[in-house]
Structures are given as C-alpha cells and as structure tokens.
C-alpha cells in the first residue's frame, strides 16, 4: 500500500465518505490525469478490501471499511459539504489542522462541524446546508457564548503555551443571521467573503 493509499483511507475515515472527484482533487491534483489516477487507486483499494463503495448515486460514494455510517444516511450531504469546504479552503492554503465534528465536551456545549487552523487562525466552522430559524441560530450561538465564557477553549491541545487564541466561529453556507453582541468573533459567508474581512 502506498503512502497516498494510506492518505486516501485516512481522509475517508475523517470525512466519513467522499466522491471520486473529491479524492481526485485532494490526492491527485498535481498529476496530469487526476481522475484517471484516482480511478486506478480506488479500484485497487476496493479489490483489496480496504474501502467500500455505494453505487446508489450518479456519482459513486466511497467509504472507509468498515463504514462509519449507513450508505443511505441522511447525513451524507452534510459530510460531502464538509469535504467541499475543505477543498475550497485547501485551494487557498492547506489547513494546518482540520478536524471533522470535534468533540468539545458534553451535553450543552457547541458541536462545530469543523475545527481548523487556517491562514494562521483557529476556526470553529458551522456548515449550514439549510437556513436555520432565528431561534435555532440563537441557541447555537448561546452554546458558543457559554463555552467561550467558561474559558474551556484555553485548555485545547492546539493552543500556544504563551498566548491563548480564541477561535473564530464561522457560519458557512445557507442563510445570513443576526449575531447580536457576542464575546467571541463570528464571521459569515463564503471563503472569499471571509478572506476579504479577515
């Protein structure tokens, strides 16, 4: 198994599932024929039983083996949106760290879709595939407010020793929201929007 094969399997575990085109861009973009090379690698990994495939959609979906979710899960669109965000961020600069659905603690704490360190800053990213009601978004942001006020974020393993950096909350995708006054920084919009404002 090549290092690239191991990296593909690792990303299938991280993102839960990926399309062939996702894998081609993430792992083969520097080659002359990324799609052809991705097809060859995926076929080899399927034959050796390292990965699984779902042929239910027009674009095949690849999963780690064993798959960490059902191949018809309603969350597939959510995880593909996270992978799409990763690809867009990566085109600008490779994130130094990128975690999918990091656990910040127990019940009542925020549940970000992504934690990443990108362009020298830490972010909690909320991927919005649908527009939330004002009440739903306020509840989500209130959980972040409690988390920030508790200071628990200062104990994160990625924090520098000499200076604590508060992660920026980034709302990406559908909808624009009234954030109100918060004790933490909130950005909304596309990668291009955020780069203009950062």
Fold of the 79-197 domain: Trna Endonuclease; Chain: A, domain 1 (3.40.1350)
* Residues of the chain above pLDDT 90, percent: 79
Residue 198, pLDDT > 80, answer no
pLDDT digit string, tens, across residues 133-150: 989 999 999 999 999 999
- Mean of the pLDDT values across residues 190-197? 85
pTM of the model: 0.92
Specify the pLDDT at position 169. Answer: 96
Residue 121, pLDDT > 90, answer yes
CATH class of 3-72: mainly alpha
Specify the pLDDT at position 96. Answer: 95
Of the CA atoms within 13 Å of residue 184, those in its CB half-sphere come to: 24
Specify the pLDDT at position 110. Answer: 94
Q: How remote is the C-alpha of 25 from its chain's centroid?
A: 15
Specify the pLDDT at position 130. Answer: 87
- Separation CA 187–CA 105 (nearest Å): 23
Domain residue ranges in the chain = 3-72, 79-197
Residue 193, pLDDT > 90, answer no
Residue 164, pLDDT > 90, answer yes
* Common-topology check for domains 3-72 and 79-197: no
pLDDT digit string, tens, across residues 99-115: 999 998 878 889 999 99
Residue 104's CB: how many other CB atoms inside 10 A? 16
Residue 174, pLDDT > 90, answer no
For 103-167, give the DSSP string.
--SSTTS---SEEEEETTEEEEEEEESSPPPHHHHHHHHHHHHHHHHHTGGGG-TTS-SSS--PP
pLDDT digit string, tens, across residues 67-108: 999 999 999 999 999 999 999 999 999 999 999 999 988 788
Specify the pLDDT at position 195. Answer: 85
């Amino acid at each position: 198994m090549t290092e690239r094969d191991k990296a593909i399997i690792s990303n299938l575990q991280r993102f839960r599932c990926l399309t062939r085109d996702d894998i081609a861009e993430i792992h083969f973009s520097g080659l002359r024929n990324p799609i052809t090379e991705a097809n060859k690698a995926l076929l080899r990994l399927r034959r050796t039983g390292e990965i699984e495939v779902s042929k239910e959609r027009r674009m095949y979906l690849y999963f780690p083996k064993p798959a960490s979710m059902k191949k018809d899960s309603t969350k597939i669109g959510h995880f593909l949106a996270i992978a799409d965000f990763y690809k867009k961020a990566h085109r600008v600069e490779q994130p130094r760290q990128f975690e999918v659905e990091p656990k910040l603690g127990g019940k009542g704490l925020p549940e970000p879709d992504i934690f990443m360190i990108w362009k020298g800053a830490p972010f909690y990213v909320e991927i919005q595939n649908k527009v939330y009601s004002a009440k739903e978004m306020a509840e989500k942001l209130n959980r972040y407010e409690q988390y920030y006020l508790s200071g628990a974020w200062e104990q994160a393993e990625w924090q520098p020793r000499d200076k604590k950096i508060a992660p920026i909350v980034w709302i990406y995708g559908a909808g624009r929201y009234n954030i109100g006054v918060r004790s933490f920084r909130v950005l909304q919009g596309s990668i291009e929007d955020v780069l203009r404002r950062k």
